[in-house]
Amino acid sequence: MTREIAVVAFAQTDTLRTTEEQSEVEMLMPVLHDVLQQTGLKTADIGFTCSGSSDYLAGRAFSFTMALDGVGAWPPISESHVEMDGAWALYEAWTKLLTGDADTALVYAYGKSSPGSVRDVLTRQLDPYYVAPLWPDSVALAALQAQALIDAGHTDEPELAAVASRSRADALSNSRAQLSGSVPHGDYVVRPLHRGDCAPIGDGAAAVVLAAGERARELCERPAWIRGIDHRIEAHSLGVRDLTDAPSARLAAEKAGAFEHPVDTAELHAPFTSQEVVLRKALRLDDSVRVNPSGGALAANPIMAAGLIRIGEAAARIHRGESDRALAHATSGPCLQQNLVAVLEGDPR
Amino acid sequence: MPDVLKAPLVVEFPFTRSLGPVQSAFLTGLRERVVLGVRTGDGRTLVPPVEYDPVTAEEIRDLVEVAPTGTVTTWAWNHEPRRGQPLDTPFAWVLVKLDGADTALLHALDAPGPDAVHTGMSVRIRWAEERSGAITDIACFEPNDGTTAQPSGHSGEFEDQATGIVAEARLDYVYSPGRAQSGYIGALSERRIVGERCPSCRKVYVPPRGACPTCGVATAEQVEVGPRGTVTTFCIVNIKAKNLDIEVPYVYAHIALDGADLALHGRIGGIPYDQVRMGLRVEPVWTEGGRYPDHYRPTGEPDADYETYKELL
């Protein structure tokens, strides 16, 4: 790798159960302005812009083109969009910076889940021949994975409840979180998962600025250098996968260099408590690692932005000097089908 | 700030999907109450079968029949079935490894309650009464007494093989247009057309979307524009749109309302379609009870000079 690239700014909105008084661009604009202000950059200074979102969430076709109004895309800018979590938009921007075509990149993501029924919306990402016609919702598929973990002796319901309560206790220090403090674990949604095992449904947006080399040092006192980043995917058919493991997450972590030195912090994108159990094992995170100090996705999970927020939260801890080497993870698809891992480091102090 | 506007929005999208040879054989088999798997290069049998080996990506075509009985590999109790799911009474989601298969199939299990379900339990297929060559030809699974039904020894060749499926989908939303567009729609119902001015470049956007696409900043200052305006460009529509009660040909035009820095679009009426021209001066026509202009008609003023609207083309 010939260029060093860092996260130099991060901003996120509050995650709210509904933002019906705002359009998507109205929700997004404050975080775009926030990261530009943090770096002193203007739209015209940004070399590449990349975003992640899904029109299915709010049922608005080509909503990402409307969202571009918030960037100021005239005169024309160099821009791209992925119908994926913003973490994958960040991956594309990182690649663009590696080529030397740009020195700075603006990455953003947003999701408005409140207009629709997200459990049903997410069934539309499944195999359209054998699976989607049965409408298995996102909680049902995660519950199948949780039961497989329980059967294999990897966890039990009380341990899952403890993951939930730890996450929401940590979220007390995160003013952007949707759920924090003492939250009742609730009834079963789809057994064995209780309400408390599931991420809250919320609307939100996030933005990150990336910069290369010396530009990063000019824009940020302590850049969060991306030492490695990789993403991998597993077969779409649930029945061919071992749901108690996440080999794609492990491989992404290996390719990102996560296992070369220990990390002190990990921000995991686990929208269900059971998925944290799988990820801790796959990513070899022991008790010495601070997992999800932000509260993670169990405290706020704006779909399409929650993965980018993991990278942003990990980077912000490095910016603040609270971490020296952090792992950030994003997921997509049912039961941790697709996983992205980034390793971030601060300069030695 | 006006009340937030909301309206139901139903998005329906029936996809007609063609099937590959393996999918076609599998779904035709379900129609005939035969379950087929596909054999991989290393000798595993995948059910449901796919066209390509998920590990090696090798093309696989070797069909093999498996039994309609099998074993639950994991399950989840669904006490509140949702629209479109296989059963409308509480059921268990299950992954089932059919006897003779090495991988599991997702479906529903009809059981009296969660206490009657466990991993490792024996189940069998309950066939739907009407079958069409779809995964829903399996109505669900039901508890089995543990006996293994024998495959019939089917070749995987069928007459009248299914070549496609129609995948119905419907998603229900509650649409709310946000602050700027709510203000615009609210004013329209009072027969006023309001845009918003960019605080940076001073341009007035109609309809407003809350942000200036040039400057990337929020617009907030409401500006009443029109009601008269100028046709900047237009097209003649010759194809009748579905569910639209307008005679063709008609003219659809970009109209720069007086005071606006962006043209909006609308239908032009009250003039033969072949007499509409760039620069034509028009005004909105509101129908009784209409919440927005039905169309625009000529005002009778002289045409606008090209110089006055060339920047708005």
Same domain assignment for residues B132 and B266: no
Which of B171, B196, B205 to probe the A interface (max A CBs under 10 A)?
Answer: B171
**Per the domain annotation, does B305 fall within a domain?**
yes
Q: DSSP letters along A234-280, please?
A: --S-GGGS-TT--HHHHHHHHHTTTTTS--SEEE---SBHHHHHHHH
**How does pLDDT run across A61-98, given as a tens digit for each residue?**
888 988 999 998 888 999 999 999 999 999 999 999 99
Closest alpha carbon to A319 in A265, A270, A280, A269: A265
**Cα distance between residue B14 and residue B23, in whole Å:** 19
**Per the domain annotation, does B185 fall within a domain?**
no
A20–B4: do the CB atoms touch at under 8 Å?
yes
Query: What one-letter code names the amino acid at B238?
Result: N
pLDDT score for B217: 92
How many beta-carbon contacts under 8 Å exist across A and B?
A: 188
Q: Where in chain A is the domain with CATH 3.40.47.10?
A: 5-116+201-219, 118-198+226-345
Structure tokens at A332: 């997509």
Where is the domain boundary, B138, B167, B196? B167
pLDDT score for B154: 83
Which of B27, B75, B180 has its CB closest to that of A23?
B180
A20–B114: do the CB atoms touch at under 8 Å?
no
The total domain count for chain B is 2
pLDDT score for B2: 52
For chain B, say whether A119 makes contact (Cβ under 8 Å). Answer: yes
**Cα distance between residue B222 and residue B199, in whole Å:** 11
B50–A133: do the CB atoms touch at under 8 Å?
no
Closest alpha carbon to A132 in B200, B170, B19: B170
Per CB-CB distance under 8 Å, the chain A contacts of B27 are 129
For chain B, say whether A325 makes contact (Cβ under 8 Å). Answer: no
**Cα distance between residue A118 and residue A287, in whole Å:** 33
Which of A23, A131, A193 has its CB closest to that of B178?
A23
Domain with residues A5-116+201-219, CATH architecture: 3-Layer(aba) Sandwich (3.40)
Asked whether the whole model's pTM tops 0.90, one would answer yes
**Cα distance between residue A303 and residue A85, in whole Å:** 7
Q: DSSP letters along B117-174, please?
A: --TT-EEEEEEPSS--SSGGGEEEEEE--SPPPPP----S--SS---EEEE--EEEEE
Q: How far apart are the first and last CA of chain A?
A: 23
C-alpha angle B260-B261-B267 in degrees, rounded to nearest 5: 65
Same domain assignment for residues B19 and B163: yes
The CATH number assigned to the domain with range A118-198+226-345 reads 3.40.47.10
Closest alpha carbon to A51 in A60, A62, A38: A62
**Cα distance between residue B87 and residue B22, in whole Å:** 27
**Per the domain annotation, does B180 fall within a domain?**
no
A116–B172: do the CB atoms touch at under 8 Å?
yes
CB A308 within 8 A of CB A85: yes
Quote the domain boundaries for residue B163: 15-167
Which of A28, A122, A144 to probe the B interface (max B CBs under 10 A)?
Answer: A144
| Nearest residue in A to B10, CA atom | A59
Place of tokens 């590999």: B73
Longest dimension (CA), chain B: 89
C-alpha torsion sign, points B72, B75, B80, B86:
negative
A190–B105: do the CB atoms touch at under 8 Å?
no
B273 backbone dihedrals φ, ψ, rounded to 5°: -60, -30
pLDDT higher than 90, residue B291? no
pLDDT higher than 80, residue A2? no
* Percentage of chain B lying above the pLDDT 70 cut: 99
Same domain assignment for residues B144 and B39: yes
CB atoms within 10 A of CB B74: 26
Q: Cis (ω within 30 of 0) for the bond into B227? A: yes
A140–B78: do the CB atoms touch at under 8 Å?
yes
Which of B22, B166, B173, B262 to probe the A interface (max A CBs under 10 A)?
Answer: B173
Per CB-CB distance under 8 Å, the chain A contacts of B46 are 237, 240
Closest alpha carbon to A268 in A284, A57, A50: A284
Which of A147, A150, A187 to probe the B interface (max B CBs under 10 A)?
Answer: A147
Which of B106, B108, B180 has its CB closest to that of A238?
B106
Q: What is the ipTM metric for this complex? A: 0.95
**Per the domain annotation, does B201 fall within a domain?**
no
For chain B, say whether A72 makes contact (Cβ under 8 Å). Answer: yes
**How does pLDDT run across B18-51, given as a tens digit for each residue?**
999 999 999 999 999 999 999 999 999 999 999 9
For chain B, say whether A326 makes contact (Cβ under 8 Å). Answer: no
**Residues belonging to chain B:** 313
A239–B95: do the CB atoms touch at under 8 Å?
yes
**Cα distance between residue A56 and residue A122, in whole Å:** 8
- Strands B250-257, B229-237: pairing is antiparallel
**Per the domain annotation, does B139 fall within a domain?**
yes
**How does pLDDT run across A273-331, given as a tens digit for each residue?**
999 999 999 999 999 999 999 999 999 999 999 999 999 999 999 999 999 999 999 99
CB B133 within 8 A of CB B31: yes
The conformational region for residue A296 under phi > 0 = left, psi -120 to 50 = alpha, else beta, is: left
**Cα distance between residue A68 and residue B210, in whole Å:** 12
Three-class DSSP labels, A203-221:
EEEEEEEEEEHHHHHHHCC
pLDDT score for B1: 46
**Per the domain annotation, does B98 fall within a domain?**
yes
pLDDT higher than 60, residue B262? yes
Same domain assignment for residues B153 and B256: no
A191–B79: do the CB atoms touch at under 8 Å?
yes
Strand partners, B211: B218
CB atoms within 10 A of CB B222: 17
| CATH at B274 | 2.40.50
